[in-house]
Amino acid sequence: MRRFPVSAGLALAFPGLAGATAVARAQGDREDLSLWYDKPAGAWVEALPVGNGRLGAMVFGRAAQERLQLNEDMLFAGGPYDPNNPAAMAALPKVRALLDAGNYAEATALASSALMARPIKQMPYGAAGDLLIDVDGLSGAAGYRRTLDLDTAIATTRFANGRVRHLREAFASAPDDVIVLRFEAAGGTLDLGIGYRHPGRVKYGEKTPNGVPWDHREGLALDTRPATLSIKPDGAGALLIEGRNEAAEGIPGALRYAVRVLAVGDGAIAVEGERLRVRGGTNVTLLVAAATSYVSFVDVDGDPVAAVRARTAAARGKPYARLKADHVRGHQALFRRLSIRLGAAPVARATDARIAAVGTAEDPGLAALYVQYARYLLMSSSRPGSQPANLQGLWNEGTNPPWGSKYTININTQMNYWPAEAANLGECTEPLLRMVEDLARTGAATAWRMYRARGWVAHHNTDLWRAAAPIDGPNWGMWPCGGAWLCKTLWDHYEYAPDAAFLRRIWPLLQGAALFFVDTLVDDQGGRGLVTSPSISPENQHSKGFALCAGPAMDRQIVRDLFGWTIAAHKLLGEPDAAFAATLEDKRARLAPDRVGAQGQLQEWLEDWDARAPEQRHRHVSHLYGVYPSEQINVRDTPALAAAARVTLDTRGDKSTGWATAWRLALWARLGDGERAHAILLGLLGPERTYPNMFDAHPPFQIDGNFGGTAGILEMIVQSWGGEIRLLPALPRAWPEGALNGVRARGGVELDVTWADGRLRAVALRGRPGASVRLRSGARLVDVVLDGAGRARLDGDLARRA
């Protein structure tokens, strides 16, 4: 696997990489930064995640047989493939004509046979197997406790067996690109047997007769071991596991992968058959590396064996204390940029007990912990050089993950990055930038072969191989705005960290995405403006019993944004093609506007179909994109449309799947209703939507709910849109006092905000010297100019402090 170099331009675009951002700040004395439990993990959703962006593990904390479940972010099924349907171009105008005639059944049937990708599904993300470490001679585990310290990114297990005190520490080192698992026995010795187990298929949602989620793989059973798997000694104290990825949907597996486990310690270490044995030591450190042969979406000729050997050998050259110190230092340089405190001191209960008690006991600190956990998860699953965070971030148990655990780009992938900028982790978006650059290549082929259009397009899903054609069937996949929506993450990064080099890099992506719609927008048959056709409003059906339609509201909103960003970038960069900018201005002005329906709701479709749509409480609220994450519809500039959005939200209801609940939370926060947002947050934090390890329960696990929920919490405290920064715009009564330090806002501004008795007490600003910042607190609006050091301090009335 090739590590992607960071260019000088990228270092400028992501200042943390160049060391130019704020120095890490110590966390507040009262900040709660630990998940802890008084028993080992049973089900996978009780285990604790570690990750370095590319390489991850779930740590179970079991005394007699520790389980370390491994993931490598490029271990998808299949190989390079071309999904574009050769029949699409000829069928496209026929589908459009059928939609214009109101013949939705025939349009859907033709789209299903001629427009959908071949194969109809994309490649799923896999798992890298398990390490199972048997600990001989244990008779008990007294005083048991396992923790995940978010400030150090170390998962720890402690217990006593008689007079022997056991300590285990696990972390995924970004500096050394290995997982480290340390065993110590104070007052005794260790006898360990270490084996590898190939991943299998998971029975998601099944339960045992007593109602406990089923932990699908106990013991060292290798019944699913494929013929291509090889486990062999690889020098003193090391095992080398080699295999191939799986085939899927008729696409052969093209990736080779390797896992190397190297044991270092003061006992006798030997390889016995396919297992490592450690006898008589007081400490042992396992160094685990994993890699694939993936180089790019068209190149699978990397050398994973050489990669894992090099990484474990380099890590072996460091003592454990240095491995740990380097890991912690690298983690804290990012993590300590932001701190958050809501309410009083942390609740002294195990994390699973706190989740179970949501709604029955006051625990505002759990929301603050949820924010910091999401920041930890984003850092752990999306770092420069890695793949973007997928549907499960980085952590997936089996070979058949929910929805393929790929990149669903009609909301879920975008939601993964909603908190990145505000939470002061802007460089974590770098993998998404590279994915969009890849999609601009594969999506250009799809745009031309399917639509005969310039530019590039991506529909509602993609995978490691950057497939861009519509999948899953027209009711889900016939949606051309996935790539355009991804561009919002890139534009957000520019607005939060303005940088000319970064803007120059994303210009061709914006330009290409906009060109596609220049060529494919059509006039609505009712004379209401330019629309997309064919399309859907993800993933909903309208009153005619179908999803396929022309001009859903979300498409018009996304294209309106896309054209606006592209026009702005064109001007900022001084691009010479004035005709292109004029074309975008013209087409943007001609897009069909948002409409309010007969029930007072914001219409999801061009027609007023909402009241007769079959699923009134649908999880997607796609037509509210204009409210959040966009700002087209807002309480300041478009109050009538904002009121219509409230009607829609009331109809949809507050309770939905995990990520959809998070979206509702963010929407109500953006609309300024802190009490409604907080009520939804309690539903998100409770046991129905949060697993014991704080993973979001869609169900099953999807990580987007963690990220979307965190974005919503931050929106309740600080908002940045419309050229101003809003302080405490949706603060609920449940958080009368607190502090949020290091939060980011558009324009390259960083803030520290404190409040008490439900009122703003102080705000500190950091940014470009001489920059003008517009602040709003309640009805008060002030313009603040930062001093020569790029600083300003204000009191609760927004008056400047000395």
Mean pLDDT on 545-574: 98
Residue 590, in any domain of the structure: yes
Secondary structure letter of residue 28 according to DSSP = P
Position 10 confidence tier, pLDDT thresholds 50, 70, 90: very low
For the chain, the straight-line distance linking the first and the last C-alpha, in angstroms and rounded, comes to 54
User: What whole-number percentage of the chain has pLDDT above 90?
Assistant: 90
pLDDT in tens, 713-743: 999 999 999 999 999 999 999 999 999 999 9
Q: Are residues 398 and 416 in the same domain?
A: yes
For residue 199, give the CATH number of its domain.
2.70.98.50
* Cα four-point dihedral sign 168, 171, 177, 179: positive
Alpha-carbon span 763 to 754, nearest angstrom = 7
H helices present in 21-169, as ranges:
88-100, 104-114
Higher pLDDT, 208 or 654: 654
pLDDT in tens, 20-64: 333 334 344 458 899 999 999 999 999 999 999 999 999 999 999
Residue 6 has pLDDT above 70, yes or no: no
Residue 273: Cβ within 10 Å count = 10
- The burial class, CB within 10 Å (0-12 / 13-18 / 19+), for 101 is exposed
pLDDT for 194: 97
User: What pairs with residue 291 in β-bridges?
Assistant: 258
Residue 226, in any domain of the structure: yes
Q: Are residues 439 and 554 in the same domain?
A: yes
Q: Are residues 384 and 510 in the same domain?
A: yes
Residue 552, in any domain of the structure: yes
Average pLDDT, the chain: 93
pLDDT in tens, 70-97: 999 999 999 999 999 999 999 999 999 9
Alpha-carbon span 196 to 217, nearest angstrom = 13
For the chain, give the number of residues.
Answer: 802
Q: Are residues 566 and 590 in the same domain?
A: yes
Q: Are residues 199 and 327 in the same domain?
A: yes
Instruction: Tokens for 215, please give them.
Output: 């932990």
Q: Which residues contact 286 (CB under 8 A, 6 or more apart)?
A: 131, 133, 180, 181, 182, 183, 194, 261, 262, 263
pLDDT in tens, 335-360: 999 999 998 766 789 999 999 999 89
The SS3 of residue 3 is coil
CA 370 and chain centroid, separation:
14
User: What pairs with residue 240 in β-bridges?
Assistant: 232, 260
Alpha-carbon span 161 to 640, nearest angstrom = 66
pLDDT for 206: 53
Strands 48-51 and 339-342, bridge-based pairing: unpaired
pLDDT for 502: 98
Alpha-carbon span 72 to 69, nearest angstrom = 11
pLDDT for 12: 34
Position 801 confidence tier, pLDDT thresholds 50, 70, 90: confident
For residue 489, give the CATH number of its domain.
1.50.10.10
Domain that holds residue 193: 31-76+127-336
Of 320, 336, 352, the one marking the end of a domain is: 336
pLDDT for 213: 44
pLDDT in tens, 417-476: 999 999 999 999 999 999 999 999 999 999 999 999 999 999 999 999 999 999 999 999
pLDDT in tens, 639-654: 999 999 999 999 999 9
Of 625, 655, 671, the one marking the end of a domain is: 625
**What's the structural domain count of the chain?**
2
Higher pLDDT, 5 or 798: 798
Q: Are residues 140 and 264 in the same domain?
A: yes
Q: Are residues 391 and 303 in the same domain?
A: no
pLDDT for 344: 72
Alpha-carbon span 329 to 351, nearest angstrom = 26
Mean pLDDT on 88-116: 97
Q: Are residues 513 and 446 in the same domain?
A: yes
Residue 17, in any domain of the structure: no
Q: Are residues 281 and 427 in the same domain?
A: no
pLDDT for 214: 39
Higher pLDDT, 362 or 743: 743
Own/partner contacts of 495-500, CB < 8 Å, gap of 24 or more, are 495/746, 495/747, 496/421, 496/422, 496/426, 496/720, 496/744, 496/745, 496/746, 496/747, 496/748, 497/13, 497/14, 497/15, 497/421, 497/426, 497/748, 498/747, 498/748, 499/12, 499/13, 499/15, 500/572, 500/573
Residue 207 has pLDDT above 60, yes or no: no
Residue 770, in any domain of the structure: no
Residue 672, in any domain of the structure: no
pLDDT for 228: 87
Residue 58, in any domain of the structure: yes
Alpha-carbon span 460 to 563, nearest angstrom = 20
Q: Are residues 544 and 603 in the same domain?
A: yes
422 Rama sector, left if φ>0, alpha if ψ -120 to 50, beta otherwise: alpha
Quick check: pTM over 0.75? yes
* Cα four-point dihedral sign 764, 767, 772, 775: negative
Residue 36, in any domain of the structure: yes
Residue 559: Cβ within 10 Å count = 26
Task: Assess contact for 280 and 191: CB atoms under 8 A.
Answer: yes
Of 607, 625, 643, the one marking the end of a domain is: 625
Q: Are residues 191 and 68 in the same domain?
A: yes
pLDDT for 219: 36
Q: Are residues 58 and 143 in the same domain?
A: yes
pLDDT for 30: 58
